[in-house]
């Protein structure tokens, strides 16, 4: 299987994603420069984290109108899996592939720490390898991760099982106290309506090997591989 990793000026998690799928999981991987996006041969895409275009105007706003996004939208429409991580999530929101928007963290700080995530739906293209695992731990690293959508949209996301991950404590409880950034309903990751595009603020590519203390991120990429095969 071949993963394409879309690179914008200012992306900085692109090489981590490459390492994760290529060296840890033994899949094919290729960088795709945003200005001349050739997605031929890619089975899945990763829109990595970072600070595309310096976060000018709004995080992800400039990247969302780059040539790559036209191609990514068509790629999503054809039913292929796409994961947007951190700034990648913000880009998928700004481009309209996913509903809602990100605002500044409630305490205005850039937060870099491990979080526990409750897995709300283990029957998606990104969680089919989770089996009974209902709780994972992944790090977050962002300043604009407070998810916002209007009440109607939130109801739709909930009703359709499209909230995939929620910030929780180590027992899996979800409350205001376990919400690091002010995200509505503790949302950490959501799916598009068709279920083939995921946006998530936590970084699975940083939790791929026991040597770094945590392998929970593997499950997400392994699920994508399962979904494609």
Partner 1 sequence: MKKAKIHVMLKEGVLDPQGKAAHKSLESLGYKGIEGVRIGKYIEVTLADDADGDRDKLVREMCQRLLSNPVIENYEIEWEK
Q: Residues interacting with partner 1, by CB under 8 A?
A: 57-58, 61, 65, 93-94, 99-101, 103-108, 146, 148-150, 182
- Catalytically annotated residue among 34, 71, 86, 142: 86
Active site residue 23: no
13 labelled catalytic: no
Both structure tokens of 209: 């090997």
- Complex with partner 1: residue 124 or 146, whichever CB lies closer: 146
Chain centroid offset of residue 85 CA: 3
Q: Catalytic: 222?
A: no
Q: How many CB atoms lie within 10 A of CB 192?
A: 17
Is residue 169 within 8 Å of 178, Cβ to Cβ?
yes
Q: Which is nearer to partner 1, 61 or 135 (CB)?
A: 61
How far apart CA 166 and CA 161 sit, in angstroms, is 12
Cβ distance 99 to 170 under 8 Å? no
Q: How far is the CB of 54 from partner 1 (least distance, A)?
A: 15
The distance of closest approach from Cβ of residue 228 to partner 1 in the complex, given in angstroms and rounded to an integer, is 31
- Our CB check for partner 1 shows the closer of 20 and 62 to be 62
CB 45, min distance to partner 1, A: 23
From the list 71, 120, 144, 205, the catalytic residue is 205
> In angstroms, how far is CA 198 from the centroid of its own chain?
6
Distance CA 118, CA 104 (A): 22
Catalytic site positions = 86, 203, 205
């Amino acid at each position: 299987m071949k993963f394409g990793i879309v690179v914008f000026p200012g992306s900085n998690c692109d090489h981590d994603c490459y390492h994760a799928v290529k060296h840890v999981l033994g899949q094919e991987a290729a960088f795709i420069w945003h200005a001349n996006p050739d997605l031929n041969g890619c089975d899945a895409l990763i829109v990595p984290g970072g600070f595309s275009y310096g976060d000018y105007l709004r995080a992800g706003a400039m990247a969302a109108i780059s040539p790559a996004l036209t191609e990514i939208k068509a790629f999503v429409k054809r039913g292929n899996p796409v994961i947007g991580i951190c700034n990648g999530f913000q880009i998928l929101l700004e481009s309209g592939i996913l509903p809602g928007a990100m605002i500044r963290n409630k305490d205005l700080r850039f937060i870099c720490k491990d979080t526990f995530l409750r897995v709300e739906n283990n029957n998606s293209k990104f969680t089919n390898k989770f089996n009974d695992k209902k709780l994972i731990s992944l790090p977050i690293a962002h300043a604009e991760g407070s998810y916002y959508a209007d009440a109607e949209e939130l109801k739709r996301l909930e009703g359709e099982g499209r909230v995939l991950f929620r910030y929780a404590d180590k027992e899996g409880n979800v409350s205001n106290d376990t919400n690091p950034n002010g995200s509505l309903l503790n949302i950490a990751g959501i799916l598009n309506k068709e279920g083939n595009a995921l946006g998530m603020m936590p970084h699975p590519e940083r939790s791929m090997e026991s040597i770094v203390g945590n392998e929970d991120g593997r499950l997400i990429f392994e699920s994508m591989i399962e979904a494609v095969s």
